[in-house]
Structure 1
Amino acid sequence: MRPGETTLRVRPARPDDDAAIRRLLRERALDGAIRLSLTREPSFFASLDRESLRHDTLLVEEADTGALVGMGTRQVQPARLEGAAVRLGYLSQVRLAPGRRLPRRAMVEAWRLFAESRQAREAPFDLTSITRDNLAARRLLERGLPGQPPYRPLADYTVRTLPTSRRPPSSTGIEIREASEAQWAELQGLRRRRLDAAALALPGPTAPLALRLVALRRGRLLAGLGLLDASPWRQFVVQGYRGPLRWSRPLANLAAPWIGTPRLPRAGQALTSASVVSLAHQPDEEPAAVALLRHAAFHAARLGLDLLLVGGLARDGLAPWLDRALPARRYRTRLYVVAWTPAADAWAEALREAARHDGLQVELSAL
């Protein structure tokens, strides 16, 4: 330890840490041109219970004062790996208190404790995601540190923010309606076939849905989706802007109605949003999926929501259709395989190859 450096300790979070964790989440934003805080009000631990089979959160604090320096979370969710049911960890919510840096030994200790928290039924690797423009973090982790599990780039993932609309979409000859139980079961069968065929499938959250929609043509199911409104337990707050957006936001907002992009909210504004989940369509029915998303934006406005979050792999076949047809802003991240065991490196290479051929199905519940 360097002279004058504060002694830090890494420990598992406890229920009585809830308020301090929520305060840190409010204070620290995700790096990027639009700086967003992911908050978990009114309870951090209860929110993770709703999204995970199980979860572990580690805190880094000053040994003498107990002052919170940083945190990170590992959530475990159901997944399928080459068709077999597994439990897959997802590393997220890495935050540092303002003005603090994390010494290497604290990072190594956190990785060691996360590795020890893994259970026998879990995959030999985890996933994590880092924003594409956070080059410093990506280079550091890809280069690797002594005691760090290897971070292997897997695929690019994009979250599109689609503004809701109180104006009904124009007719396209496709019938959009709330899904009946039979129609939803048919959609899940269609989606399950894609999940079963994928080298890696992470279906995402299964919390109760605010809305389930299907697209039909002469009674035939073309596409469907669900809306997950997580705002009662998880929120996004705009903390500010970086780069050209710091001065161009007013101009961008003036142009937004004409070019069909979402308005950029003021700093400090909370965003009411729903995540699109279970999105699936029949082969060659991408236009039906686009029409369905337009109607979902209309229905979401009636629920009092500002934005829809539409996540997907950058190489997904639906991605170019969404980019051409929908007025969305895109938040680009890179997915990584965190290789806890030597066998995980082989999986990383196999999954990277599968990603080139649409062999991954990943639905993330957060940016």
Structure 2
Amino acid sequence: ASFSGGLSIQYLRPSPLRSFAADGDDVKMLVVRDNETGRIAAVGGAVIRREYLGGSTARTAYLTGLKVHPDYQKQLYFIARAYQYMGTLLEDCACVYSTVLDDNTAVIKMFEKHHRNMPEYRYLGHYMTYCFHGGRKFFTLDRDDRNGFDALMQTHFSQFALTPANPDYDGFGEKHFYALRENGVIRACCFAGDQRALKQYRMTAYGGIYRLLSHLPTQWLGYPKLPKAGSIIPHQVISYLYIADNDPALCRKFLRTVAAESGAGVLIWGGFETHPLCPAM
């Protein structure tokens, strides 16, 4: 996938099958081939794992990597058959969900038309992704001491729908656990994982003012050094972020401290639009 704009970024999976498998307990991959021409018409998959729903764990499936060749995108019957077959593979899942980029209007319109042979489409809302930079140590953090985290999984993270019940999937990357404690009690914590062995963001090109900034020492202004065009961005992903009382000031200082401790050029965190930490971002 490619994302264009002032910063043109390409999303890569060096080994797609290995990457998808690392995100869950099982993965179902489909490759649809045109019997007449032998061409691959579409690919797609579902990552299956146990996630929290209503405070309890359930088997869920996340549809991902769905791509239809442009020559087949208007053949709705063929697309419906592919979804139907995928549905038979996921009948034991309590929930099947996916995400679609806002600018992927063709797919959104296809779902919103509620075609008889297509799966029911229920729009839930926006998933927000945030990027952070400018590491600075505000706190002294404990690293890789997970004491108290299991309790938070039961009392806190279980209340957020579609949170993976297993925080140790390989898909989270080579990660470390960071915690801020007060009198032995966790006040803030998260994992920061380097996913580049499985998922990568390549800076393909700069446009507009960013073309000029890419040649300047932006780190002197408190910003990370912009990666060279064509290079892989040294990012890490934040998961299982907990901030006591959802305190915005504590959240910002904690994340900046994690950025400094982890040494990552960019930290990425995502949450559903109603997540109480979104306003802190």
User: Is the TM-score greater than 0.5?
Assistant: yes
Is the 1:31–1:131 contact (alpha carbons within 8 Å) kept by the matching residues of 2? Answer: no
Aligned residue type for 1:310: W
2:10 matched to 1:37?
yes
What is the rounded CA distance, in whole Å, between the counterparts of 1:84 and 1:318 in structure 2?
22
What is the rounded CA distance, in whole Å, between the counterparts of 1:139 and 1:224 in structure 2?
39
What is the rounded CA distance, in whole Å, between the counterparts of 1:260 and 1:57 in structure 2?
43
2:15 matched to 1:54?
no
What is the rounded CA distance, in whole Å, between the counterparts of 1:68 and 1:263 in structure 2?
40
Return the TM-score normalized by structure 2.
0.83
Give the corresponding residue for 1:127.
Answer: 97
2:43 matched to 1:71?
yes
Aligned residue type for 1:215: L
- CA offsets per residue over residues 127-172 of structure 1, 9 Å max, x none? 111112333322321222231112111121111122364xxx153x
Is the 2:21–2:47 contact (alpha carbons within 8 Å) kept by the matching residues of 1? Answer: no
After superposition, where does 1:212-361 map in structure 2 within 5 Å? 212-239=177-204, 246-251=207-212, 253=214, 265=227, 268-301=230-263, 305-322=264-281
- CA offsets per residue over residues 344-363 of structure 1, 9 Å max, x none? xxxxxxxxxxxxxxxxxxxx
Residue of 122, 129, 143 corresponding to 2:113 = 143
What is the rounded CA distance, in whole Å, between the counterparts of 1:320 and 1:264 in structure 2?
26
Give the corresponding residue for 1:189.
Answer: 151
Is the 1:175–1:217 contact (alpha carbons within 8 Å) kept by the matching residues of 2? Answer: no
Tell me how large the CA RMSD over aligned residues is.
2.9
SS where residue 88 of structure 1 aligns? strand
2:53 matched to 1:94?
no
What is the rounded CA distance, in whole Å, between the counterparts of 2:267 and 2:178 in structure 1?
14
Give the C-alpha shift of residue 220 in structure 1.
3.7
Is the 2:55–2:158 contact (alpha carbons within 8 Å) kept by the matching residues of 1? Answer: yes
Aligned residue type for 2:11: L
SS where residue 151 of structure 2 aligns? helix
Aligned residue type for 2:256: R
- CA offsets per residue over residues 196-248 of structure 1, 9 Å max, x none? 334x232275236521111134544211111122211222224457xxxx434
Is the 1:223–1:285 contact (alpha carbons within 8 Å) kept by the matching residues of 2? Answer: no
Decide which moves more: 137-146 or 204-213: 204-213
Is the 2:137–2:261 contact (alpha carbons within 8 Å) kept by the matching residues of 1? Answer: no
Give the corresponding residue for 2:89.
Answer: 117
Q: List, as ranges, runs of 4+ consecutive aligned residues in structure 1 with deviation greater than 4 Å.
A: 251-267
Is the 1:164–1:300 contact (alpha carbons within 8 Å) kept by the matching residues of 2? Answer: no
Q: Give the direction of change, closer, same or farther, for the CA distance of 1:93–1:282 in structure 2 (3 Å limit).
A: same
What is the rounded CA distance, in whole Å, between the counterparts of 1:230 and 1:128 in structure 2?
20
SS where residue 110 of structure 1 aligns? helix
Give the C-alpha shift of residue 264 in structure 1.
6.1
Is the 1:40–1:233 contact (alpha carbons within 8 Å) kept by the matching residues of 2? Answer: yes
Is the 2:80–2:118 contact (alpha carbons within 8 Å) kept by the matching residues of 1? Answer: yes
What is the rounded CA distance, in whole Å, between the counterparts of 2:230 and 2:31 in structure 1?
26
What is the rounded CA distance, in whole Å, between the counterparts of 2:147 and 2:125 in structure 1?
30
SS where residue 276 of structure 1 aligns? strand
Decide which moves more: 105-114 or 32-41: 32-41
What is the rounded CA distance, in whole Å, between the counterparts of 1:216 and 1:295 in structure 2?
14
Give the corresponding residue for 2:128.
Answer: 158
What is the rounded CA distance, in whole Å, between the counterparts of 1:256 and 1:217 in structure 2?
35
Structure 2, unaligned runs of 5 or more: none
Q: Give the direction of change, closer, same or farther, for the CA distance of 1:284–1:130 in structure 2 (3 Å limit).
A: closer
What is the rounded CA distance, in whole Å, between the counterparts of 2:251 and 2:182 in structure 1?
12
What is the rounded CA distance, in whole Å, between the counterparts of 2:163 and 2:246 in structure 1?
23
What is the rounded CA distance, in whole Å, between the counterparts of 1:55 and 1:64 in structure 2?
28
What is the rounded CA distance, in whole Å, between the counterparts of 1:66 and 1:37 in structure 2?
28
Aligned residues: 274
Q: Give the direction of change, closer, same or farther, for the CA distance of 1:96–1:83 in structure 2 (3 Å limit).
A: same
- CA offsets per residue over residues 271-296 of structure 1, 9 Å max, x none? 23221111112225443332221122
What is the rounded CA distance, in whole Å, between the counterparts of 1:284 and 1:161 in structure 2?
18
Structure 1 vs Structure 2: percent identity of aligned residues? 19
SS where residue 148 of structure 2 aligns? helix
